[in-house]
Chains A and B, each alone.
Chain A
Amino acid sequence: MKRATPIYGIMAEFDDPQALVLAARRTYEAGFRRIDTYSPFPIEEAAEAIGFHRNSVPLVVLIGGIIGGLSGYLLQWWISTVSYPVNVGGRPYHSWPAFIPVTFEMTILFAGLSAVLGMLALNGLPMPYHPVFNVPRFAFATKDRFFLIIFSSDPKYSATETREFLESLHPRSISEVPS
């Protein structure tokens, strides 16, 4: 199968974020859906332009935080009342106000780690190799250039017409991305 599609996508290079966002909007309007942009800093409008409006990181963080808080509290409750009850001057074993600080810290710890690991997992990182790195000019995507890619898996993709479409956006350069 790989031999049949040696091209991963076609990539256009732009000089500034304004041009990238305009090009991305026009590409989306032209009906392309499997597209992406690459930029050296976050551009909210670029994500909007390619039709990526919501991500599920907040949900992952919420779940992580709830698990952290519950496990922190239940751990303390179980230790203090079931496994290792220590009578301190007749005070209750389930002395919940004393358990708040650790519950809080565990909530933050789990939520924070979920934010980091969830973001990396959803982004598919770490991924040392990726076809876009085959384009030599792509090294500037972490400096001062802005890239738009139409993946060959897009249903509207066609080797010649897609290239012509990208040329109509007046990019600085166009390169094919070998897969």
Chain B
Amino acid sequence: MDDPTKNDKVALSDQPAPVLAPGHTFATVTDKISSIVLTRPVSNGWLVGFGVCFLLTMMLLFAIGYLFVRGVGIWGVNIPVGWGFAIVNFVWWIGIGHAGTLISAILLLLRQSWRNSINRFAEAMTLFAVAQAGLFPILHLGRPWLFYWLFPYPNTMKYWPQFRSPLVWDVFAVSTYFTISLVFWYIGLIPDLATLRDRAENPAARIIYGMLAMGWRGSARHWSRYETAYLLLAGLATPLVLSVHTVVSFDFAIGIVPGWHTTIFPPYFVAGAIYSGFAMVLMLAIPIRKAYGLEDMITERHLNNSAMVMLATGWIVAYGYAMEAFMNWYSGSPYESYVLWNRLHGPYAFLYYALLFCNLALPQVLWFKKLRTKPIWLFLISFDVLVGMWLERFIIVVVSLHRDFLTSSFGMYYPTRWDWMIYVGTIGLFVACMFLFVRILPMISIFEMRALLPEAEVKAE
């Protein structure tokens, strides 16, 4: 009754929720975000969560060690399905990474200021996801210690990579993507590292943050060049992120396997990547804002907007499924038609129906605003989308390969326990990295939050 803001809330309920809750100043946003890193004690929940992920990482290392000893024969891959979990997981992880770049670069260029509170950890998510993705093709090489043969360098074998192969394009696309994501994230961090340097009590922390901040002092000339460089990087990262999943889709589309050889793949892969990426952003943001009390910086507006991006990209993906099915019929090729029949009636049909349920049917509840702003529902739907997008890649890779042209070479693919250990292990490593990240770096961009405040505005004379 005595809370005057209560009535305002009712009156303003039709307005979109604010990007940053009212009442903050330059000092409070600085204190709130930097205290999570500098002064907040380690909680039991963090220790348990990190411990579980650490164990999963150990399982990953064990499985990789065994793989190095025995070779890829420990996986379920064989002829005709030579691209099993490794490629499924590669595409899945790299797709998840795309949302981070979308948020940090494309939404920056579109002047969507709500991105400012989620871009930092979305970029971290991109880096960690691309790192997991990068593991799989290397592990899948058979002789992973020779991975550097993929790069063009002068060598005594007088050999060069084949630049007409999409697999070589992939090496360039993924390594460029990782490098640019890393530097983009790092230069975004520099001013905040300077804040931590100036506020850390612990001398070791001050030295480490100080070295990482490289002597940043916030000079107007520095800021001017910084803003230019940041904007240019965003402009470069935008076509880059679209190109990366396009090149990944070329790995399939340039092959002649029925179910792969289609021109819808590049846009459909990019949309699917953003779809699953936003699902991962929400799955991370929802527990983080709860655990660290960041509801006034990651507000309902962020949840609502992310859910709408998911809904929109989900429909682009739906169009992709429809167009794939249509082309299977319209091509007039019996092999192409068989792809659809096999998806609907073949031995993996239950996965296709699960995919349609996860990616098309269930996310439609996001049309309701009530559910878009309910964290628990969004969390569950995001999980569902991640499962659905993983199934999509499984269907593209495995269901296309297991029955292609010759009936005599039809076969089945069953993942082994080593496939599962490596897949689940990368999830553990990914989440472990996120656990470490929220404790040692500011997970929300402090200087961009300061710039969002009304008092940051300079009125013209």
Contact = CB atoms under 8 A, between A and B. Distances in A.
A37 interface: yes
A21 B458 contact: yes
Contacts of A43: 220, 223, 456, 458
A38 B224 CA distance: 11
A99 B431 CA distance: 37
Interface in A126-156: 126-130, 132-133, 138-144
A52 B224 CA distance: 8
A17 B158 CA distance: 61
B247 A116 contact: no
A144 B163 contact: no
Contact of A111 (B25, B236, B456): B236
Contact of B227 (A18, A42, A84, A108): A42
A109 B221 CA distance: 25
B180 A119 contact: no
Interface in B186-219: 186-187, 191, 194-195, 197-199, 210-211, 214-219
Interface residues of A, number: 70
B228 interface: yes
Interface residues of B, number: 67
B226 interface: yes
Given A102-B168, A112-B233, A143-B26, A38 B218 contact: yes
Contacts of B179: 109, 112-113
B218 A105 contact: no
Contacts of B164: 80, 88, 95, 98
Contact of A130 (B180, B183, B215): B215
B163 A99 contact: yes
Given A16-B455, A41-B456, A47 B247 contact: no
B26 A115 contact: no
Contacts of B455: 16-17
B223 A47 contact: yes
Interface stretch (B128-136, B412-420, B446-454): B446-454
Given A79-B152, A80-B163, A101-B243, A41 B451 contact: yes
A57 B229 contact: yes
Contacts of B163: 76, 79-80, 98-99, 102
Nearest to B34: A143
Nearest to A35: B220
Contacts of A143: 26-27, 30, 195, 198-199
B180 A125 contact: no
Contact of A36 (B176, B195, B219, B232): B219
Contacts of A84: 158-160
A119 B172 CA distance: 24
A46 B159 CA distance: 55
Contacts of B461: 22, 25
Interface string B423-454: 00000000000000000000000011011000
Given A37-B220, A143-B26, A42 B226 contact: yes
Given A88-B164, A144-B30, A118 B215 contact: no
Nearest to B452: A41
A24 B225 CA distance: 19
B183 A116 contact: yes
Contact of B228 (A58, A75, A104, A138): A58
A12 interface: no
A128 B216 CA distance: 8
Contact of A108 (B159, B194, B228, B239): B239
B241 to A, nearest CB: 10
Given A41-B450, A106-B172, A133-B217, A128 B225 contact: no
A144 B191 CA distance: 13
B26 A144 contact: yes
Contacts of A44: 224, 227
A123 B226 CA distance: 9
A55 interface: yes
A133 B198 CA distance: 10
Contacts of A79: 152, 160-161, 163
A120 interface: yes
Top 8 A-B residue pairs of the complex, sorted by shortest distance between their CB atoms? A126-B214, A144-B26, A119-B229, A127-B215, A42-B223, A98-B164, A101-B169, A139-B198
